Amino acid sequence: MKKFVAYVISGIFLLTILLTGCGSSSSSTSSKNSAQQSNTTTSSTKKITVWAWDPNFNIAIMNDAKAIYTKEHPDVQIDVVEMAKGDLEQKLNTVLASGVKEGLPDIVLIEDYNAQKYLQAYPGAFADLTDKIDYSKFAKYKVELMTLNGKIYGVPFDSGVAGFFYRRDILEQAGYKAEDLNNITWDQFIEIGKKVKEKTGKYMLGFDPADGGLMRIMLQSAGEWYFDKDGKPNFTNNPALKEAVITYKKLLDSGIVKKVSGWNEWVAAFNKGDTAAVVTGVWIIGSIKAESSQSGKWGLAPVPRLNISSSVNASNLGGSSWYVINSSKNKDVAIDFLKEIYAGNNDFYQKILVERGAFATYLPAQTGNAYSAPDPFFGNQKIYSDLSEYMKKIPPVNYGVYTYEADSAIMGIMPDVYSGKISVDDALKKAEEQLKNQINQ
């Protein structure tokens, strides 16, 4: 167990993120309180501290929640502490691993891909919220990832529901209408891309061959992940992963992708109009809209599915959730705060969608005006209403303990797959052995 915890401490910090698509990691390198202790604080004041990252998204949204709650509960003080994502993870792991209860926040934001890593490495560290929150009001896939041994430990926050975002004008120039793009396979996507390239000269997709984000979208669309139900690496007996690897190679071989490296080049590809589509999480909408000259020219369709029977046209990339530290002196206040705002305030969710671009996993919120409004940038398509429907169909999967390590293992072998140096079956076998060796060190 000591070896496992030590690995967790170093693993989360060093393998913090590839391109999770959550759209909410921060480049900030310092910690700061968004609210200073008031000089008028009395002994009756109940204080809770929140740790999170990204001043423009998670921090800003938590401050919105704080303002709503403290207006009705003036005896509560909420300090929102901003850290860079990697710094937060390192500090949280260090304190939890030490066994010392001092120095922890009352509420902490945890990326969904790392949830099981924390829950399994530190049993008893997080409050059991099973009977505190009505989880039937949240997307099923989101609740699944924060569940361990029948108990639920988090309060779901934002969704990374994925979409097939495309340029209407470019696709129409190639002869395609919106209905031609609904519920297609990746093979059909590739054929459409070939026609787009032929008719318009535009690439269909910007693609970083080293990034595993699209791989995760493909896997979850089939209700599968890198591990079996017991949490053991499952590469060689995983039809969804094999098909995803084959599809990655097909995309590269098809001539429809513009190769990019990193976030900036990826975003620039569609902002400049070099590519006709992007398949990723909902959090990309802000980057799409950053190019105001393209207003009215975009559309949205469901993500393509793999060419296997278990795959559907719905998936997820990224997202995070809130967790209460079990040793918190004001645990009940922290739980009440999250329950009242994040698990019960529809107006709050309308506000953060419009102002922050935060797409809720709280299902009642999706009946609000902000979700049903047509979006002029997307040709007056009701994109958030459509995304709400996609989200309800996302297959739940258990992300396990080693998602980023598995991502690294499979993407590390992909160059040899692209070049034809190694077969897909041999690549999966080699990557699985590499992952097993890494996690058993």
Evaluate if residue 307 carries a pLDDT over 80: yes
Q: What amino acid is encoded at 303 in this protein?
A: V
Domains defined along the chain, listed by start: 2-160+319-367 (3.40.190.10), 162-315+404-439 (3.40.190.10)
Burial letters 119-129, b for 16+ CB under 10 A, else e: bebbeebbbeb
Backbone φ and ψ for 10, nearest 5 degrees, come out as -80, -35
Q: What confidence tier does 45 reach under pLDDT thresholds 50, 70, 90?
A: confident
The whole-angstrom separation of Cα 381 and Cα 372 is 10
**Residue 347, class by beta-carbon neighbours within 10 Å (0-12 exposed, 13-18 middle, 19+ buried)?**
exposed
pTM of this structure: 0.88
**Residue 98, class by beta-carbon neighbours within 10 Å (0-12 exposed, 13-18 middle, 19+ buried)?**
exposed
- What's the helix, strand, coil split of the chain in %, to 5? 45, 15, 35
* Residue 51: strand pairing partners: 81, 108
The whole-angstrom separation of Cα 293 and Cα 271 is 9
Residues comprising the chain, all counted: 441
**Helix (H), strand (E) at residue 96:** helix 85-98
- Residue 71: left if φ>0, alpha if ψ -120 to 50, beta else—which one? alpha
Instruction: Give the model confidence (pLDDT) of 100-157 as tens digits.
Output: 888 999 999 999 999 999 999 999 999 999 999 999 999 999 999 999 999 999 999 9
The whole-angstrom separation of Cα 180 and Cα 406 is 35
Evaluate if residue 25 carries a pLDDT over 60: no
Residue with tokens 């000259």: 293
Q: What confidence tier does 169 reach under pLDDT thresholds 50, 70, 90?
A: very high
Backbone φ and ψ for 92, nearest 5 degrees, come out as -60, -45
Radius of gyration of the chain (CA): 22
The whole-angstrom separation of Cα 403 and Cα 285 is 25
Instruction: Give the model confidence (pLDDT) of 142-163 as tens digits.
Output: 999 999 999 999 999 999 999 9
Instruction: Give the model confidence (pLDDT) of 419-438 as tens digits.
Output: 999 999 999 999 999 999 98
Evaluate if residue 293 carries a pLDDT over 80: yes
